[in-house]
Structure 1
Amino acid sequence: MHRSYDLWIAYMENRLPEAEREEAERHLYVCDDCLALYLRVVDQQSVAWEEERAKVVTAEVMDTIQSQGQYSGAKLQMRRERRRRLIHYTVAASLTLLLMSSGVFQQLMSYTESWRNAYEVADQQKVPNAEKVMKHATSLLEGWMKRASFN
Protein backbone atom coordinates (compact mmCIF):
# COMPACT_ATOMS: atom_id res chain seq x y z
CA MET A 1 0.00 0.00 0.00
CA HIS A 2 1.37 3.46 -1.02
CA ARG A 3 1.89 6.19 1.51
CA SER A 4 0.43 9.69 1.13
CA TYR A 5 2.15 12.90 0.18
CA ASP A 6 1.39 14.39 3.63
CA LEU A 7 2.98 11.38 5.35
CA TRP A 8 6.24 11.97 3.45
CA ILE A 9 6.18 15.67 4.37
CA ALA A 10 5.71 14.70 8.04
CA TYR A 11 8.52 12.12 7.67
CA MET A 12 10.86 14.70 6.19
CA GLU A 13 10.05 17.26 8.89
CA ASN A 14 10.61 14.57 11.54
CA ARG A 15 7.04 14.80 12.92
CA LEU A 16 6.25 11.06 12.90
CA PRO A 17 6.43 8.82 15.95
CA GLU A 18 9.51 6.57 15.97
CA ALA A 19 7.63 3.35 15.09
CA GLU A 20 5.79 4.95 12.15
CA ARG A 21 9.03 6.53 10.99
CA GLU A 22 10.83 3.17 10.91
CA GLU A 23 7.93 1.61 9.01
CA ALA A 24 8.06 4.44 6.42
CA GLU A 25 11.80 3.91 5.98
CA ARG A 26 11.34 0.19 5.40
CA HIS A 27 8.58 0.98 2.87
CA LEU A 28 10.94 3.25 0.91
CA TYR A 29 13.29 0.28 0.37
CA VAL A 30 10.57 -1.82 -1.27
CA CYS A 31 8.27 0.67 -3.08
CA ASP A 32 9.69 2.60 -6.04
CA ASP A 33 6.55 4.75 -6.41
CA CYS A 34 6.73 5.95 -2.80
CA LEU A 35 10.47 6.56 -3.18
CA ALA A 36 9.78 8.71 -6.24
CA LEU A 37 7.04 10.57 -4.32
CA TYR A 38 9.39 11.07 -1.36
CA LEU A 39 12.13 12.45 -3.65
CA ARG A 40 9.61 14.85 -5.20
CA VAL A 41 8.63 16.01 -1.67
CA VAL A 42 12.31 16.51 -0.82
CA ASP A 43 12.86 18.58 -3.99
CA GLN A 44 9.80 20.73 -3.36
CA GLN A 45 10.66 21.23 0.27
CA SER A 46 14.26 22.10 -0.54
CA VAL A 47 13.07 24.76 -3.01
CA ALA A 48 10.68 26.11 -0.38
CA TRP A 49 13.45 25.99 2.21
CA GLU A 50 15.84 27.85 -0.13
CA GLU A 51 13.20 30.52 -0.78
CA GLU A 52 12.56 30.88 2.94
CA ARG A 53 16.29 31.01 3.66
CA ALA A 54 16.73 33.65 0.97
CA LYS A 55 14.03 35.77 2.62
CA VAL A 56 15.70 35.35 6.03
CA VAL A 57 19.14 36.27 4.66
CA THR A 58 17.71 39.29 2.84
CA ALA A 59 16.00 40.45 6.03
CA GLU A 60 19.23 40.00 8.01
CA VAL A 61 21.23 41.98 5.46
CA MET A 62 18.68 44.79 5.42
CA ASP A 63 18.64 44.90 9.24
CA THR A 64 22.44 45.09 9.29
CA ILE A 65 22.45 47.95 6.78
CA GLN A 66 19.86 49.85 8.76
CA SER A 67 21.62 49.23 12.07
CA GLN A 68 24.94 50.47 10.69
CA GLY A 69 23.19 53.48 9.26
CA GLN A 70 23.00 54.27 5.63
CA TYR A 71 25.02 57.10 4.20
CA SER A 72 23.65 60.34 5.46
CA GLY A 73 23.29 63.24 3.06
CA ALA A 74 26.54 64.84 4.25
CA LYS A 75 28.53 61.61 3.98
CA LEU A 76 27.14 60.93 0.53
CA GLN A 77 27.94 64.49 -0.57
CA MET A 78 31.48 64.18 0.79
CA ARG A 79 31.95 60.88 -1.04
CA ARG A 80 30.73 62.45 -4.29
CA GLU A 81 33.03 65.42 -3.78
CA ARG A 82 36.04 63.12 -3.28
CA ARG A 83 35.14 61.20 -6.41
CA ARG A 84 34.78 64.46 -8.38
CA ARG A 85 38.17 65.70 -7.15
CA LEU A 86 39.81 62.42 -8.04
CA ILE A 87 38.40 62.63 -11.56
CA HIS A 88 39.63 66.23 -11.93
CA TYR A 89 43.13 65.37 -10.71
CA THR A 90 43.24 62.37 -13.03
CA VAL A 91 42.22 64.50 -16.01
CA ALA A 92 44.78 67.18 -15.10
CA ALA A 93 47.58 64.65 -14.71
CA SER A 94 46.64 62.98 -18.00
CA LEU A 95 46.65 66.30 -19.85
CA THR A 96 50.00 67.23 -18.32
CA LEU A 97 51.54 63.96 -19.44
CA LEU A 98 50.04 64.36 -22.90
CA LEU A 99 51.38 67.91 -23.27
CA MET A 100 54.79 66.91 -21.97
CA SER A 101 55.07 64.01 -24.37
CA SER A 102 53.97 66.12 -27.34
CA GLY A 103 56.63 68.79 -26.65
CA VAL A 104 54.27 71.71 -26.02
CA PHE A 105 56.06 72.72 -22.84
CA GLN A 106 59.43 72.77 -24.64
CA GLN A 107 58.02 75.08 -27.29
CA LEU A 108 56.65 77.38 -24.58
CA MET A 109 60.07 77.49 -22.94
CA SER A 110 61.69 78.55 -26.22
CA TYR A 111 59.10 81.33 -26.61
CA THR A 112 59.73 82.58 -23.09
CA GLU A 113 63.48 82.65 -23.74
CA SER A 114 62.98 84.71 -26.90
CA TRP A 115 60.67 87.09 -25.01
CA ARG A 116 63.21 87.40 -22.21
CA ASN A 117 65.94 88.21 -24.75
CA ALA A 118 63.72 90.83 -26.40
CA TYR A 119 63.03 92.50 -23.05
CA GLU A 120 66.75 92.49 -22.18
CA VAL A 121 67.59 94.22 -25.46
CA ALA A 122 64.83 96.77 -24.88
CA ASP A 123 66.08 97.39 -21.34
CA GLN A 124 69.61 97.97 -22.64
CA GLN A 125 68.35 100.49 -25.22
CA LYS A 126 66.22 102.39 -22.71
CA VAL A 127 67.52 105.66 -21.42
CA PRO A 128 66.85 106.20 -17.74
CA ASN A 129 64.16 108.77 -16.94
CA ALA A 130 66.52 110.91 -14.87
CA GLU A 131 68.84 111.26 -17.85
CA LYS A 132 65.90 112.30 -20.05
CA VAL A 133 64.84 114.94 -17.51
CA MET A 134 68.42 116.24 -17.30
CA LYS A 135 68.71 116.54 -21.10
CA HIS A 136 65.35 118.32 -21.30
CA ALA A 137 66.26 120.70 -18.47
CA THR A 138 69.64 121.42 -20.07
CA SER A 139 68.05 122.19 -23.42
CA LEU A 140 65.55 124.55 -21.72
CA LEU A 141 68.30 126.35 -19.85
CA GLU A 142 70.41 126.67 -23.00
CA GLY A 143 67.38 128.11 -24.83
CA TRP A 144 66.80 130.69 -22.09
CA MET A 145 70.47 131.60 -22.05
CA LYS A 146 70.49 132.16 -25.79
CA ARG A 147 67.45 134.42 -25.50
CA ALA A 148 69.00 136.29 -22.62
CA SER A 149 72.25 136.85 -24.51
CA PHE A 150 70.37 138.21 -27.54
CA ASN A 151 68.63 140.81 -25.48
Structure 2
Amino acid sequence: MTHVSYEQWMLYASDNLDESKREEYEDHLYECDPCMDLYMQAVKEQGSSTPEFDEKGIADKIMQEISSLTQTDNVIFLTDHLEAKRQKAVFQKPVVQYLLAAGMTVLLMSTGVFQSITAYVADYENSSAPPKNSVTKVLLDKTVSIVDKVEKETKEDK
Protein backbone atom coordinates (compact mmCIF):
# COMPACT_ATOMS: atom_id res chain seq x y z
CA MET A 1 0.00 0.00 0.00
CA THR A 2 1.40 3.38 -0.99
CA HIS A 3 1.09 6.12 1.62
CA VAL A 4 0.43 9.75 0.83
CA SER A 5 3.06 12.26 1.99
CA TYR A 6 2.41 14.97 4.55
CA GLU A 7 2.95 17.67 1.91
CA GLN A 8 0.22 16.10 -0.24
CA TRP A 9 -2.14 16.06 2.75
CA MET A 10 -1.37 19.77 3.25
CA LEU A 11 -2.38 20.41 -0.35
CA TYR A 12 -5.54 18.36 0.19
CA ALA A 13 -6.41 20.28 3.38
CA SER A 14 -5.89 23.63 1.64
CA ASP A 15 -8.07 22.47 -1.30
CA ASN A 16 -5.27 22.76 -3.86
CA LEU A 17 -5.74 19.37 -5.59
CA ASP A 18 -7.81 18.45 -8.61
CA GLU A 19 -11.05 16.55 -8.08
CA SER A 20 -9.81 13.12 -9.16
CA LYS A 21 -6.83 13.28 -6.75
CA ARG A 22 -9.14 14.43 -3.93
CA GLU A 23 -11.43 11.44 -4.48
CA GLU A 24 -8.44 9.10 -4.58
CA TYR A 25 -7.14 10.50 -1.28
CA GLU A 26 -10.57 10.30 0.33
CA ASP A 27 -10.85 6.62 -0.60
CA HIS A 28 -7.35 6.05 0.77
CA LEU A 29 -8.32 7.61 4.12
CA TYR A 30 -10.94 4.88 4.65
CA GLU A 31 -8.30 2.19 4.50
CA CYS A 32 -5.10 3.66 5.98
CA ASP A 33 -4.77 4.72 9.63
CA PRO A 34 -1.24 6.19 9.33
CA CYS A 35 -2.40 8.46 6.51
CA MET A 36 -5.41 9.45 8.60
CA ASP A 37 -2.98 10.62 11.31
CA LEU A 38 -1.00 12.62 8.76
CA TYR A 39 -4.20 14.11 7.40
CA MET A 40 -5.34 15.15 10.90
CA GLN A 41 -1.98 16.85 11.49
CA ALA A 42 -2.29 18.67 8.16
CA VAL A 43 -5.79 19.85 9.05
CA LYS A 44 -4.57 21.14 12.42
CA GLU A 45 -1.69 22.94 10.74
CA GLN A 46 -3.96 24.35 8.05
CA GLY A 47 -6.48 25.44 10.68
CA SER A 48 -3.87 27.36 12.65
CA SER A 49 -2.77 29.24 9.53
CA THR A 50 -6.25 30.44 8.53
CA PRO A 51 -7.05 34.10 9.25
CA GLU A 52 -9.34 35.04 12.10
CA PHE A 53 -12.96 35.73 11.31
CA ASP A 54 -13.85 39.40 11.71
CA GLU A 55 -17.41 39.40 13.09
CA LYS A 56 -17.53 43.14 13.73
CA GLY A 57 -16.38 43.94 10.19
CA ILE A 58 -19.15 41.82 8.70
CA ALA A 59 -21.74 43.37 10.99
CA ASP A 60 -20.57 46.85 9.94
CA LYS A 61 -20.87 45.95 6.27
CA ILE A 62 -24.40 44.65 6.77
CA MET A 63 -25.42 47.79 8.64
CA GLN A 64 -24.00 49.95 5.84
CA GLU A 65 -26.03 48.03 3.27
CA ILE A 66 -29.18 48.48 5.33
CA SER A 67 -28.60 52.20 5.77
CA SER A 68 -27.91 52.61 2.04
CA LEU A 69 -31.54 51.79 1.25
CA THR A 70 -33.36 54.92 0.25
CA GLN A 71 -36.23 56.28 2.28
CA THR A 72 -38.65 55.69 -0.61
CA ASP A 73 -37.77 51.99 -0.71
CA ASN A 74 -38.63 51.75 2.97
CA VAL A 75 -41.91 53.61 2.50
CA ILE A 76 -42.95 51.42 -0.45
CA PHE A 77 -42.12 48.28 1.49
CA LEU A 78 -44.02 49.52 4.54
CA THR A 79 -47.14 50.46 2.56
CA ASP A 80 -47.16 47.09 0.76
CA HIS A 81 -46.83 45.33 4.10
CA LEU A 82 -49.65 47.37 5.68
CA GLU A 83 -51.93 46.80 2.67
CA ALA A 84 -51.45 43.03 2.85
CA LYS A 85 -52.08 43.08 6.59
CA ARG A 86 -55.26 45.16 6.15
CA GLN A 87 -56.63 42.79 3.49
CA LYS A 88 -55.95 39.81 5.71
CA ALA A 89 -57.64 41.48 8.67
CA VAL A 90 -60.85 42.17 6.69
CA PHE A 91 -61.58 38.45 6.19
CA GLN A 92 -60.86 37.69 9.84
CA LYS A 93 -63.68 39.89 11.15
CA PRO A 94 -66.70 37.90 12.41
CA VAL A 95 -69.20 40.08 10.53
CA VAL A 96 -67.52 39.39 7.20
CA GLN A 97 -67.35 35.67 7.96
CA TYR A 98 -71.03 35.64 8.92
CA LEU A 99 -72.02 37.43 5.72
CA LEU A 100 -70.00 34.98 3.62
CA ALA A 101 -71.61 31.99 5.37
CA ALA A 102 -75.10 33.45 4.93
CA GLY A 103 -74.44 34.16 1.26
CA MET A 104 -73.21 30.61 0.65
CA THR A 105 -76.30 29.22 2.41
CA VAL A 106 -78.67 31.28 0.25
CA LEU A 107 -76.76 30.26 -2.88
CA LEU A 108 -76.93 26.55 -2.01
CA MET A 109 -80.62 26.75 -1.11
CA SER A 110 -81.54 28.58 -4.31
CA THR A 111 -79.73 26.06 -6.51
CA GLY A 112 -81.48 23.12 -4.86
CA VAL A 113 -78.43 21.41 -3.44
CA PHE A 114 -80.07 20.88 -0.04
CA GLN A 115 -83.24 19.42 -1.62
CA SER A 116 -81.24 16.88 -3.61
CA ILE A 117 -79.36 15.84 -0.49
CA THR A 118 -82.62 15.30 1.43
CA ALA A 119 -83.97 13.28 -1.51
CA TYR A 120 -80.96 10.96 -1.35
CA VAL A 121 -81.44 10.52 2.39
CA ALA A 122 -85.15 9.73 1.97
CA ASP A 123 -84.39 7.20 -0.76
CA TYR A 124 -81.84 5.51 1.45
CA GLU A 125 -84.22 5.34 4.41
CA ASN A 126 -87.05 3.95 2.27
CA SER A 127 -84.94 1.33 0.55
CA SER A 128 -86.30 -2.22 0.69
CA ALA A 129 -83.20 -3.68 2.26
CA PRO A 130 -84.15 -5.49 5.45
CA PRO A 131 -82.60 -4.00 8.57
CA LYS A 132 -79.70 -6.02 9.86
CA ASN A 133 -79.58 -7.14 13.44
CA SER A 134 -76.85 -5.47 15.32
CA VAL A 135 -74.23 -7.46 17.18
CA THR A 136 -75.52 -6.12 20.47
CA LYS A 137 -79.07 -7.30 19.74
CA VAL A 138 -77.87 -10.79 18.76
CA LEU A 139 -75.79 -11.09 21.95
CA LEU A 140 -78.68 -9.84 24.07
CA ASP A 141 -81.07 -12.39 22.51
CA LYS A 142 -78.62 -15.26 23.13
CA THR A 143 -78.08 -14.14 26.73
CA VAL A 144 -81.85 -14.01 27.35
CA SER A 145 -82.30 -17.49 25.89
CA ILE A 146 -79.51 -18.87 28.10
CA VAL A 147 -81.05 -17.25 31.19
CA ASP A 148 -84.47 -18.66 30.25
CA LYS A 149 -82.97 -22.17 29.89
CA VAL A 150 -81.26 -21.92 33.26
CA GLU A 151 -84.51 -20.77 34.93
CA LYS A 152 -86.44 -23.59 33.31
CA GLU A 153 -83.95 -26.20 34.48
CA THR A 154 -83.92 -24.84 38.04
CA LYS A 155 -87.74 -25.00 38.15
CA GLU A 156 -87.68 -28.59 36.93
CA ASP A 157 -85.11 -29.59 39.56
CA LYS A 158 -87.35 -28.38 42.39
TM-score band w.r.t. shorter chain: 0.3 to 0.5
Length-normalised TM-score, structure 2 = 0.32
| TM-score normalised by the chain length of structure 1 | 0.34
Higher helix share: 1
Which of the pair has more CA radius of gyration? 1
